[in-house]
Chains A and B, each alone.
Chain A
Amino acid sequence: MEQNFLITINNLVKNFPIGGGEFTALNGINLTFNTGEFVGFVGPSGSGKTTLLNIIGSLDTPSEGSVNVLGREVGKLNTKKAAILRRQHLGFIFQTYNLLPVYSVYENVEFPLLLLKMNASERKKAVMDALVWVGLTDKIKSRPAQLSGGECQRVAVARAMVKKPKIVLADEPTANLDAANSHNILKMMLKLNEELKTTFIFATHDDKVIKYLKRKISLEDGKVIQDEIIKTNKEK
């Protein structure tokens, strides 16, 4: 019997034009992901991690093959439908946080809910819940410029999680953080993954992140070279 996966990737190829020719960033990727996974694409720079994450996030399209996210073929979505998919089901966390600089912490976290046209009372509750998860209830009026790197990333996590998406895509989320902040953020994400059953997909080459992964997919030159399930201490 065929299993219904959250994400299915078949023979994915992604080429980018460079000069007169083409650069192949991803070559023949086949992967599936289930609900509640805590998975990371691991590999050196240029291995295709971010490209793969962008395609899953419908920010980019495959050159060949298919990527099915929550029953939608990413390559066949027009820009509007791709935007709706991201708005309803996907959360993004970026290496440089990408917080809206003129918004307060509260407004940054509230933003995805405004796009979902959620009513004001539900919105307020959801934002406050998200800020409780990340421990930033005392900073709701602060602007991103007034926060530390760790706090900014916690706001970014709250913003990604506030709408309780099915999938969160995190691109090098700890690259700009010190060790203590990295561990705090990762523990928080792991907790949210376990409590809300949200699928987290990372693109990283940071050992601190790798230690927390439950599944590690190693990429090299655009190809999957290893896909391993990592047993926790309890499972061992």
Chain B
Amino acid sequence: MLAIKLAYRNLIGAGLRTWLNVFVLSFTYILIIWQYGVIDGWNYQAKFDMQAWEFGNGQYWQRNYDPYDYFSFEESHAAIPELLQKATSEGIVTPILISQGTIYPDGRLQSMILRGISPNQKVIAIPSAELNTKSEEIPVVIGRRMANSCKLKQGDITTIRWRDANGTFDAKEVKVVKIFNCDVPSVDAGQMYISLEKLQEMMQTPGEATMFVVGENSAMKDSISGWKYKSIDFLMKDMTELIKMKKVGGSIFYFILLLLAMLAIFDTQVLSIFRRQKEIGTYIAMGMTRKQVVGLFTVEGAMHAILAVIVGAVYGVPFLLWQMKIGMTMPAGSDDMGIPIAKTIFPVYGAGLVISTILLVLIITTIVSYMPAHKISKMNPTDAIKGKIQ
């Protein structure tokens, strides 16, 4: 208690020197919390978007389906089993038929994936209802990335070619009835959405599908013969790994920031030992034990971290809340990196993040303060009183 009282007095008495260190530390807190908040916000938004647009609450894959092997698509469709038919009619799942295709915008050629989806589904956010549009051509829905890469606009008519289940190539005109905006590139880039029934007809695979997306509110994961259930954790694995990597990268920045702040504290404490020798000698002469003096200097250092929490709260809380409200606009082109990034990322600050950052900085500051303070125990009090450098 005495150490806390004296440390507080010393820090407040030291004025600008204290506040400079406190400000540096508070800046560290805020930057660390903000940076991790942005990563967590990105993580949260990416997961939310991927679930909403693509993964739902899990997927059933036809046993041959491999999303990374386009050649598998020809073999990875099968008749919809009874259980999934029932779930589809209840709106719990939605079937998707997948096939390779080619698009010829303005006479150019581009590979793409054709995805047959029920126009009435509400399981994922694809605006499939637009596929009900009456048109002489086949109505299709594409995302902004696909539209940009093929230079297509809403209302444009173009030719697509595909190969049916018998290996026969066929081609038809399609009309772009809707271009949607989506932050998940795998839903958008190189993908074309078409009515499920129409694609089944084109592919000559009536009543078949490649996969099923389970609705977000459903916990369906029963095993079905010939179909493999893929949990949301499995489907998000790549994204989770990416976020983990991003956090590791962020940790380097975090570490550098922390190092700079600790250097400031360590420097102050080491300088204090030399500059405040006379004061230390006086403490000892007046009856403080060496342990008490070490304790006082350690508490002084640690108190920087506590004051930094208070100072950080004064300017940091409004800043962090403001950032949470307006978000951080990502630079143009960042969504072309192939990973789900929203145009604006809204940071998310969890209690765990705030508390763990505060505790980490507090513990490291205390350790860093203890080290030079420990040197005091070796100081000769008679020389210290006179301020002789030891």
Contact = CB atoms under 8 A, between A and B. Distances in A.
Interface string A65-100: 000000000000001100111111010101010111
B287 A57 contact: no
11 contacts: A59-B381, A59-B382, A60-B381, A83-B292, A94-B282, A98-B385, A103-B9, A107-B9, A111-B286, A114-B5, A115-B288
A87 B6 contact: no
B13 interface: yes
A181 to B, nearest CB: 21
A88 B278 contact: no
Contacts of A86: 284-287
B2 A59 contact: no
A98 B278 contact: yes
B279 A100 contact: yes
Interface size class of B (residues with CB under 8 A): 20 to 34
A137 interface: no
Contact of B281 (A98, A111, A117): A98
Given A83-B284, A100-B282, 12 more contacts: A59-B284, A84-B287, A86-B285, A90-B287, A94-B385, A98-B281, A98-B282, A101-B13, A102-B12, A102-B13, A111-B286, A117-B2
Q: Which of A54, A103, A115, A117 has the most CB of B within 10 A?
A: A115
Contacts of A222: none
B290 interface: yes
Interface of A: 54, 57, 59-60, 79-80, 83-88, 90, 92, 94, 96, 98-103, 107, 111-112, 114-115, 117, 159
B14 A92 contact: no
B120 interface: no
Contacts of A112: 286-287
Interface in B279-317: 279, 281-282, 284-292
B92 to A, nearest CB: 71
A54 B281 contact: no
Nearest to A55: B382
A88 B287 contact: yes
B279 to A, nearest CB: 6
Contacts of B287: 83-88, 90, 112, 115
Interface of B: 2, 5-6, 9-10, 12-15, 278-279, 281-282, 284-292, 381-382, 385-387
Given A59-B382, A60-B382, A114-B6, A92 B13 contact: no
Contact of A103 (B13, B15, B382): B13
Contacts of A96: 278, 386-387
A26 to B, nearest CB: 13
B289 A102 contact: no
Contacts of B9: 102-103, 107
A108 to B, nearest CB: 10
B382 A79 contact: no
A79 B289 contact: yes
Contacts of B290: 79, 83
Contacts of A98: 278-279, 281-282, 285, 385
A109 to B, nearest CB: 11
Nearest to A83: B289
Given A79-B289, A102-B13, A112-B287, A54 B282 contact: no
Contacts of A115: 2, 286-288
B385 A59 contact: yes
A80 B289 contact: yes
Q: Which of B10, B282, B387 has the most CB of A within 10 A?
A: B282
Q: What are the 8 closest A-B residue pairs judged by CB atoms, nearest first?
A: A87-B287, A102-B13, A83-B289, A86-B287, A98-B282, A92-B285, A59-B381, A54-B382
A60 to B, nearest CB: 5
A127 B154 CA distance: 87
A102 B2 contact: no
Q: Which of A54, A102, A117 has the most CB of B within 10 A?
A: A102
Nearest to A88: B287
A63 to B, nearest CB: 14
Contacts of A54: 382
